[in-house]
Structure 1
Amino acid sequence: MSPAPAQPGAPTTEEAIAEGLNEALIRRVVHRFYDLVRADPLIGPVFHARVAEGHWPEHMDKITAFWSSALLGTRSYSGKPMPKHQAIDELEDAHFRRWLAIFRHTVTELCPERTAALFIARSERVAEAFRMNIAMHRGDILTFRPPLTREEYP
């Protein structure tokens, strides 16, 4: 997976790297994010039901590789996350909104401004892609489906 081209005015990978984006920062983001996710009353149970306690280090390594590939173009991720997410019957827009709220909070807390903005832009694209693919998999009608609204994180 190589980094997607930036939209006009959007932060670039080069800007984020200049601010300090590297694999160590990505790992810190992933670990902090999942600390918050695991404690969250809405999405925590979804993760706990699918990631056994002893498998969290492996899961976080996989997600770190995903973000490293997405932001730095490392090609270290080779998974296929869509089928696993399509199999989660309880996933709804509320779960995606919360995931994004926690993610925005995490990167804003840990990253310089342009790096956080890059993470946020990519996370919103990932969430919309997953949301739409899951809806299509379920046979939902996608015509006029509005994008996700933002939820604030406490």
Structure 2
Amino acid sequence: MATRTVQAHPHAIAAREERRAEALAMGIDEPFIADLVDRFYASVREDAVLGPIFNAQISDWPAHLGQMNRFWQSVLLSAGNFTGNPMMKHLAIPTIAQEHFQQWLALFYRTLHAIAPTPEAARHIGGKARMIAESLLTGIWVHRDREDPLAKKVELPHVSSVL
């Protein structure tokens, strides 16, 4: 059986390169992302609300941090080096709820505010984090809880609430 290589469309490549250039112009690069991930997850591990949940799910923190680095590089730099299914990972946690995403964002924003290279970068990254949290929360409501997401109200902080 022959393997088929899929080539990215030139427009897609150009769009990815443009997003990366915009991020780099804001000061978002691989070393910054690594620092953000390391500091943020250090605070998560110590958090009274989130620490027990994360520590119960993650047995190999160095591997998880590497995976989170690749995830955020893909989100922020269009790196395309992340493989995984964050929705399935979160659906597998039976107790995770809106208040956990609220706390996750509060810690994320606090870390981001402390180290963001520019206010523009903080707003950009914070917006992405909130969008991801909202997507995961909505997915949990639909797939795990079998609830109508339109009947619920997403109550998550915005990055501007801490900047």
Using structure 2 for the length normalisation, give the TM-score: 0.80
The answer as to 2:134 corresponding to 1:128 is yes
Q: Render the CA deviation track for 1:71-110: whole Å, top value 9, x for unaligned.
A: 1000010111111110101101110000000001111111
One-letter code of the match for 1:41? Answer: A
Aligned twin of 1:34: 41
Matched, 1:61 2:70: no
Please list the CA deviations of residues 99-152 of structure 1 after superposition, one character each: whole Å capped at 9, or x if unmatched.
Answer: 000001111111121111111000000000000001111201222322223297
Larger radius of gyration: 2
Higher-RCO chain (CA-CA 8 Å, sequence separation at least 6): 1
Distance 1:46 1:65 in 2: 22
Instruction: Measure the CA separation in 1 of the matches of 2:132 and 2:93.
Output: 16
Q: Does 1:78 align with 2:83?
A: yes
Match of 1:49, SS?
Answer: helix
Q: Post-superposition, which runs of at least 4 consecutive aligned residues in structure 1 deviate over 4 A?
A: 12-15
RMSD: 2.0
Counterpart CA distance in 2 for 1:149 and 1:82 is 18
Report which of the two has the higher share of helix.
2
Q: Determine the C-alpha separation between the residues in 2 that align with 1:131 and 1:19.
A: 28
Give the structure 2 partner of residue 104 of structure 1. 109
**What SS does the corresponding residue of 2:74 show, helix, strand or coil?**
helix
1:50 maps to 57
Q: Which amino acid aligns with 1:63?
A: M
Correspondence 1:2-21 to 2 at 5 A: 14-21=21-28
Change (3 A) 1:119 1:78: same
Instruction: Provide the C-alpha distance between the structure 1 equivalents of 2:153 and 2:90, rounded to a whole number of angstroms.
Output: 20
1:15 Cα deviation after fit = 4.4
Gapped runs of 5+ residues in structure 2? 1-11
CA contact (8 A) 1:15 1:115 kept: no
State the identity as a percent: 31
- Alpha-carbon separation, structure 2, partners of 1:19 and 1:139: 40
